[in-house]
Amino acid sequence: MTLIRSRKSFQKARKSCERRKSKSENQSRTSKSDPPAFHLFEPNEGAQKRLFAAIPLNRVERESPQTYFYYRAGVGSGKSTAGAAFIVSRALLDPESRSLISANSYSQLATSTLVALAEFCERYSIPLFPCVAGDPNETARAIAGRRYCKIGKDKAHVLVLSAENFTSHTSKSRELGRGFEIKYFWGDEFAYADRSAIQAIQGRLRQRVGRGKPTGLITSTINRNDPYNWTYKLFDDPDRSGAAKRLYLSFKGSTRENAHNLSDGYYEGLELAYSPELAAIELEAEYANITEGVIFKYFSRDAHCANFQIRHNEQTYLSFDFNRSPACALACQFPQGELIVLKEWYMEDSDTFELSETVGAWLQENRITSVKIHGDATGNSGTANSTTTNWKIVKNKMRKHGIDFCTLYGSGNPSVQDSINSLNSAIFLNKIYTDKQCRELILDLERLKWKGRDIDKSDAARSHLADCLRYIAHYLLPLPREGAENEKRVHEGPIG
């Protein structure tokens, strides 16, 4: 009996060992099957070539005296590939040094930045650990989970942390960003990171071992929510100090420079989806001011207002903004990809009970039996005159009037700037129209102005219906977005 048990234990252990060996061989197959072919990488003509003339990929010495480099370029321009090339070159040339790969968020890191690294290493047969052969996405997740990787046959150590590890309010997250030294840094989409993150990382860029000088590279589109943020002030402001000019150097690249790696019509499709200001930022990496003057400057009564009828074969959408005066809502439909505002409710000295009762009665009167509901996500809080949440009041009124519904709002509202960008681009592209009777909404679209980077709400009567519209427009007509996390879209489905 003991012999049988021992034999079974041995066989089990041998199989386990074989599985581990097979897994290990599988993980490194891409790395070991071919000699490294890093020398075959060719930077794109334009900004990439200028960047790698300043920080050559075949030697650790920099040609430019600056320490920090910013490759600001359009979406799809090959920014992450350039970042991967930089960090891999440093690992191969200076393996004794430690590097850091970071991104504006953990999601960006795990689903984009590290995928680009894994694809680059696989394409050029660069040893990478951990590595799931043939699956860059799994490799990226494995690296993100470990928070480090090793690159090259000499296994250069590379730390992997998001910007959140340097700015988080939780002590556990911040602890990961403390106490280490690095020689090289790559920050992907870091124009969307808080300035305090780069300041913390700069304090870590001091490692003395190895051969090269400390060097940092940021690869990013311009932050379209705040174009003239810290990246502009450090790298591109013509009036920055001489000390800043000696430390920071910027390279501007267009999406067009990577056209040979993009699908046909990629650039043109995005150009059609953006307003002129956003196209300048997102495709040409040009700074443009999108937070001055009138907010919805493309809106025109002549072009965007008409008389509309309810189409009973189309889905109806509601969008709510919860206030006491005015309490506001919109009813819309979305035929053939165009958002049509059919009805507005602008009720002064009112509340959510009266607003939702009035909306429910209108739906019933117009034989609309099914709606999708969007609006202010903060409606999950209690109302001023009731412990019942605003959304629960709305749902109860829909049930009372026999309206079938599902909800589209998430756990939080989209950022003001993101939702305004979506709404502005939709107006520019003539994808949004409103009935002429929606007079208060029309006034919002004509009169609202910027106050810094926020909506000027000094007039208490204004902005509430525009808020309703931007919530639903951002859901139905969102802008394409690279490098930033999408808002969490809802618990959609019939409710009770």
Domain map of the chain by residue range? 23-284, 301-476
* Whether residue 26 has pLDDT greater than 70: no
Q: Which residues of 401-424 are buried (b: 16+ CB within 10 A; e: fewer)?
A: bebebebbbeeebbeebbbbbbbb
The pLDDT confidence band at residue 18, using thresholds 50, 70 and 90, is very low
What pLDDT is stored for residue 291 in this prediction? Answer: 67
What's the chain's average pLDDT? Answer: 86
* Whether residue 39 has pLDDT greater than 50: yes
What pLDDT is stored for residue 453 in this prediction? Answer: 79
Q: Which residues of 320-353 are buried (b: 16+ CB within 10 A; e: fewer)?
A: bbbbeebbbbbbbbbeeeebbbbbbbbbeebbbb
339-352: average pLDDT: 95
What pLDDT is stored for residue 17 in this prediction? Answer: 39
What pLDDT is stored for residue 361 in this prediction? Answer: 96
Contact 373, 465 (CB under 8 A): no
Q: How far apart are CA 420 and CA 454, in angstroms?
A: 10
β-sheet bridge partners, residue 315: none
| Choices 3.30.420.40, 3.40.50.300, 3.30.420.280, 3.40.50.1000: CATH for 301-476 | 3.30.420.280
Residue pLDDT, tens place only, 153-198: 999 999 999 998 888 655 554 555 566 899 999 999 999 999 999 9
What pLDDT is stored for residue 411 in this prediction? Answer: 84
Please say whether the structural domain 23-284 has been given the CATH code 3.40.50.300.
Answer: yes
Q: Which carries the bigger pLDDT value, residue 385 or residue 75?
A: 75
The pLDDT confidence band at residue 226, using thresholds 50, 70 and 90, is confident
Residue pLDDT, tens place only, 49-63: 999 999 999 999 999
* Whether residue 139 has pLDDT greater than 90: yes
* Whether residue 359 has pLDDT greater than 80: yes
Q: How far apart are CA 214 and CA 319, in angstroms?
A: 52
What pLDDT is stored for residue 330 in this prediction? Answer: 97
What pLDDT is stored for residue 133 in this prediction? Answer: 87
273-291: average pLDDT: 88
134-149: average pLDDT: 95
Q: How far apart are CA 304 and CA 324, in angstroms?
A: 29
The pLDDT confidence band at residue 442, using thresholds 50, 70 and 90, is very high
